[in-house]
């Protein structure tokens, strides 16, 4: 429900507001990465930040993900709170050493004496015939690593609240973004606020099947729910919001009610988030009336052809058909 404090904002402008408010509140927050001084390179998410905060706090780097990430990790260990932007998530792979070997491990290796308050802001690009090296959703890489938290909002309100929470968190957080969401509009409170990391949300209550989704697939899942409703099926839709830690208790509670489960993942099917959630539900002892289902990308790289892209990415009909098959 909206309030008098809410405005209708796009997803990209909600992130911009989260960055601006966080940097105004805390001078230790800095933004570093490729394109952060450009009005368009990262989809208006960094609009006017250079003008507001100057080149000492909004730092456009050369094209070296490993170098700028290593600098940012070091800065976080001596008191700054960097936000490192990766305009294409694919090229975070160049920065795996400072993210995984350094940032994720320092609190543990120092017995809690050293914190690494840093946000790794990863932007997924998909569609638009960008092909295999510019379309990859690599979130599962980071959920596998102890010491990293991972969030993935699906709407403008959550994008602002989760970004502020990630910036304030004393530990490294991977913020998974998706350009397909940048033009989505929603009611966003004007004042700063936080959404707790580790909390999922029931977007639509239902009794027949639990459908867990996150990021851009949440909107697709809600469209699928309308199709299912027309066929007399009442799905319960859960938006994960946080991939690590997972809000497993909310998922278990829903599955105990519906006795059916389907998980929608924005990445590849094999060894993905869907497999992790289904395994956790199985290990919890929740009894399901039909085998759980996974909706995810096929186990092959993203195609460059526009027609093949349409077949590659899940749509609302694919999700509704898969859910309906759980009742046969």
Q: Which residues are catalytic?
A: 65, 134
Rg of the chain taking only CA atoms, in angstroms: 20
H/E stretch holding 109 reads: helix 106-109
Q: Which two tokens stand for residue 321?
A: 């058909």
Distance, CA of 121 to CA of 208 (rounded, Å): 36
Distance, CA of 260 to CA of 268 (rounded, Å): 22
Name the residue among 124, 143, 167, 127 with its Cα closest to residue 23. 167
**Other CB atoms within 10 Å distance of the CB of residue 69:** 27
Distance, CA of 226 to CA of 239 (rounded, Å): 16
* 239 Cβ contact partners less than 8 Å away, ≥ 6 residues apart: 154, 158, 200, 201, 203, 213, 214, 218
- The position carrying tokens 């590849």 is 268
H/E stretch holding 76 reads: helix 65-77
């Amino acid at each position: 429900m909206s309030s008098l404090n809410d405005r209708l904002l796009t997803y990209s402008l909600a992130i911009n507001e989260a960055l601006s408010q966080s940097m105004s509140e805390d001078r230790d927050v800095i933004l570093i990465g490729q394109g952060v001084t450009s009005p368009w390179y990262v989809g208006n998410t960094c609009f006017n930040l250079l003008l507001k905060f100057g080149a000492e706090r909004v730092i456009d780097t050369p094209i070296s993900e490993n170098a700028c990430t290593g600098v940012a990790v070091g800065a976080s260990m001596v008191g700054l709170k960097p936000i490192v932007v990766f305009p294409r998530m694919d090229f975070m792979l160049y920065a795996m050493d400072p993210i995984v070997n350094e940032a994720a491990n320092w609190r543990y290796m120092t017995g809690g004496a050293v914190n690494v308050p840093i946000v790794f802001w990863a932007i997924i690009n998909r569609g638009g015939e960008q092909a295999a090296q510019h379309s990859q959703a690599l979130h599962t890489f980071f959920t596998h690593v102890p010491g990293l938290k991972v969030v993935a909002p699906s709407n403008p309100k959550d994008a602002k609240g989760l970004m502020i929470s990630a910036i304030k968190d004393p530990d490294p957080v991977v913020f998974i973004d998706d350009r397909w969401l940048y033009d989505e509009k929603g009611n966003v409170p004007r004042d700063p606020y936080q959404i707790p990391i580790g909390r999922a949300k029931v977007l639509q209550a239902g009794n027949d099947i639990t459908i867990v989704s996150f990021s851009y697939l949440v909107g697709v899942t809600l469209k699928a729910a309308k199709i299912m409703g027309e066929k007399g099926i009442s799905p319960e839709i859960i938006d994960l919001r946080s991939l690590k830690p997972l809000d497993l208790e909310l998922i278990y509670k829903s599955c105990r009610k519906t006795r059916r489960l389907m998980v929608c993942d924005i990445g590849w099917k094999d060894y993905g988030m869907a497999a992790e959630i289904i395994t956790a539900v199985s290990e919890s002892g929740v009894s399901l009336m039909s085998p759980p289902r996974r909706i995810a990308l096929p186990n092959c790289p993203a195609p460059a052809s526009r027609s093949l892209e349409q077949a590659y990415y899940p749509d609302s009909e694919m999700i509704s058909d898969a859910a309906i098959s759980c009742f046969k």
